[in-house]
Every structure is written in structure tokens, then in C-alpha cells.
Amino acid sequence: MVKRIYIRWLFIIVPALAPALIWWLAKPAAIQLQSTSEWIDAAAKLAGLIALSLLAVNIIISARLKLLDRIFFGLDNMYRTHHLTGGWVIIFLLIHSGLLTLKFSLISLASGYQFLLPSSDIPLTIAKMTLVAMTGLVVLTMYFTIRYEWFIIAMRLLGAAIFFGGFHAFFVGSSDLRAIKPLLAYMIILGSLAAGLYTYRSVFRRALHRPYDYLVDEVINHSAITEVWLKPIDGAMQRFAGQFCYVSFPGRSMAAEVHPFTISSGSSDRRVRFCMKHVGDYTTSLDTLTVGDPARLEGPYGNFSFTKAHRLHQVWISGGIGITPFLAMARSLDSSLHHHITLYYIIRNKNEAIFLNELEAISKQQPNFKVLPVFTYIQGRPKASDYLAGTNAKHTDFLVCGPAGMLKTVRQQLLAETVPRNCIFTEEFVLS
């Protein structure tokens, strides 16, 4: 787990800093860096190169490649990294533009002010407009809750910035890309890879990537959850317990949108089950699905599974609808696996414990699987000492799935009790 963290951050840092290193080693001879203005200009160019490289890497991350799914240990980690890297792109772009503004302000305040305004320099004006648009989109997606389909549109608009950023970097009057051939070659390779994946993901993926075709086989409407069973038309999707996939229901106006859901049926079951909590118009509309409706699945994705953890002694901690991957795991248990597992099923009250009977039935068949329901309305939320009761913290893996706030709290509680970081596996439930 620790090695995976290093690998994924090296995947970000090395490509991002490489162009800055190339620039520094082969900067144009005319640049002597003797004056304050020259140092500011150099720092601005380095910040711009790092921002453009980070943007390219971020687009590569968002392409949902299965190779990166393994490197990042699940798409949830990949998207968290994508989220964080997107923020750093904006920071370096703001540093880039801020330093250039400072450079012109050293001449006069009027020059600094004029630099901020649109001008006849088309590459420079495009860069300014792109920066404003990107900053707005990043703030929107990072600090505001928006509908999933609008989130996808925002991500695609952010991805398009690679084309405008490349245009600016190459054609702007003081560009060093044209002067430093190794730098130009590197940025063309990295930018082309990002642009190609962006185009593939946005335009051609559905045409080139064949999804799995299923039919709705059963629909069960609970109070706030729609449980849908799908049966394959041709080949069934192979997966392991805990993974998720992207689902759409063609022919249904809103349900035709593509959304990610965790698979909650066992890994050996040909049918696929999804349990979708009603959190908006889309998930509520799934109540109208009927037997025989077509469904398309893309995936599977994710590495959150008891089979991917290191130890046979495990504690599973679920919050709310975060129970769904554990349903799949519980239904995939086999006495020959020799796991010893305790599941904390955390819900507000018994009325929300929709899957408790199912889990308790499995526990009767699997003596090494114990289910402990926690009704927070009566018992309050568990503490780390509850999760650690009867366990050896250094020889137990903790798998946690639920809302972001719960994940943060549980992780902090376990770390405070000296549980090693590589013993904590999490999956955040944010998209539905």
C-alpha cells in the first residue's frame, strides 16, 4: 500500500517537473538571469511549464485507464488525486500569471494593469481567458455540490484547456518551446498523449469500447433505495467483490445518463445487482425501471476488496449506502478462504437496516463472518476502541466505506490508536 502511494505520486511529480528540469539545463543562452526582471520571467516560465505538464497528467489520470486503476489502487484514489492535482494546476497558473504581472509592474503600474487586459496578442489573450474559465470551473467542482452530469461537463471543459494551453505555450511571443528542441519534443509527446486520451474519452470511447449489454431482471423498491438486478444478454462481466462499474439504461430519458455504482452481488453470480440510494432526480427516477429494460455496463473498476487486502483478520466498517461493496464481499465469502471478518453495519435505526437480514443469514453460513449492527440514533457512533476490541491492530486490515466525513473520522481514529496506514483501506461514496 505504501509503495503504491509512492508510485502514484511519482507518476504525478516526475512528468510535471521534467520540463522544468529540461528548461533549466538548456535555457536559451540569451537568458543570463542577471536582473530581477529576468529571474521573475524565468520563474514565471517554469511555473507555466509545470502547470501545463500537470494539466496533461491530470487529463491522463481522468481517462479511466485500467492500468492506472491498478497503480492508484482504485478509481476513487485516482479521482482524489485528480481533484488535488487540478487544484495545483490552478495554483501554478496563478503563480505564472502573477509573476508576469509583477514583471510588467516593475516597469510601471500601468504596464502591469495593461498586461491583465485582453490585447491584440491572440495566444496571450487566449491564455488569460482559459485561466479565468479554468479557475471558475475548479472552484465550482471543488467547493460546490453540483449534479453529476454537470460535473462531467465541467471536467470535459477543463480537459479542453490542454489545447488552449499548448497553443499559448508554443505561439506566445517569448516562448522557449520553439528555442529548446528537447523541451518541445517532451511537451509534444506528453501533450499529444493527454489530447489523444481526452479526445478518445470524450468523443470515440463509446464507439470503440464495447460495453456489456444487460437486461433488467428484477426491481425492488425499498423506502429510499432502489435495488436492481440485471442479467447478461451475452457474456457476463467478470469482476471481483467490491468493484464498481458505470451504468446506463438506454431508452430512459434521465436513466440513459452514465453513472458509477458499486456492484453488490457476489463475484460468482452471473447476475449483477446494484443498490442505489435516492439522492437526486437521477437515482429517484430508477424506481420507474421495469423488467426487460436494457442496461449497459462499463467496467469493472476499483481495487477495494477483502481479496486485495493483506491480512486474513479484517474489520469492515460501513456507513449508510457504503454497505454495498461489503454486500458483494459477504456474498463472495467461502469457508476455504480462512478469513476472520467483523462487519460494523452503521445506520441510524432499524428501519434503515435494509440488508441486515441478508448479512445475518450469510453469517450463519460463514462462522468466521460476524455482523455487528450499530444504530447511531440509539447507540451513537462507534469509537476506535470498538473497532479494535479483540483484534491485534498491527495484524488486522480495516476496510472502510461510506461518506467522506465518516471516512475521515474513522481514519483519524484508527491512526490515533497506532493502526498502521497500510492496514487502512477506504472507498469514498460521493457519486451516485
Whole-angstrom Cα distance, residue 359 to residue 353? Answer: 10
Whole-angstrom Cα distance, residue 40 to residue 46? Answer: 10
**Which residues lie across from 374 on neighbouring strands?**
346
DSSP 91: H
Whole-angstrom Cα distance, residue 217 to residue 148? Answer: 26
pLDDT given at position 133? 75
Neighbours of 223 (CB within 10 A): 8
pLDDT given at position 432? 38
Is 417 in contact with 393 (CB distance < 8 Å)? yes
Element of type H or E holding 80: helix 75-107
Cis peptide before 403 (omega within 30 of 0): no
pLDDT given at position 32? 63
pLDDT given at position 33? 66
Q: Which of 221, 278, 285, 291 is nearest to 256 (CA)?
A: 285
Q: How many helices (H) and strands (E) does the chain have?
A: 15, 11
Phi and psi based region of residue 338 (left: phi greater than 0; alpha: psi -120 to 50; beta: remaining): left
Cell of 42: 524565468
pLDDT tens for the 432 residues of the chain, in order = 445 556 777 888 888 889 888 888 877 655 566 778 888 888 888 888 888 888 888 888 877 676 776 667 666 677 777 778 888 888 888 898 888 889 888 888 888 778 777 777 777 777 777 777 777 766 666 666 666 666 667 667 766 777 777 777 777 766 777 778 888 899 889 888 888 887 777 666 655 567 889 999 999 988 788 999 999 998 888 888 988 888 988 876 665 578 889 999 998 899 999 998 887 777 788 888 889 999 999 888 888 889 888 888 999 999 888 899 999 999 998 876 788 999 999 988 888 888 999 999 999 998 889 999 989 888 888 888 888 887 877 789 999 998 888 888 898 989 988 888 888 888 875 543
Backbone angles phi, psi at 301, to 5 degrees: -130, 165
Altogether, the residues listed in the chain come to a count of: 432
| pTM flag (> 0.85) | no
Whole-angstrom Cα distance, residue 396 to residue 313? Answer: 5
Cell of 338: 480462512
Whole-angstrom Cα distance, residue 337 to residue 317? Answer: 20
Residue 179, classed as helix, strand or coil, is coil
Q: Which of 225, 356, 242 is nearest to 283 (CA)?
A: 225
DSSP H helical ranges for 144-225: 148-171, 181-199, 205-208
- Residue 88, C-beta contacts closer than 8 angstroms, at least 6 positions apart: 54
| Distance from the first to the final alpha carbon of the chain | 27
- Residue 199, C-beta contacts closer than 8 angstroms, at least 6 positions apart: none
Q: How far is CA 422 from CA 103, 310, 396, 398, 415, in A?
A: 46, 9, 10, 9, 10
Cell of 101: 504581472
What pairing do the DSSP bridges indicate for beta strands 272-277 and 225-232?
antiparallel
pLDDT given at position 2? 46
Cell of 366: 460463514
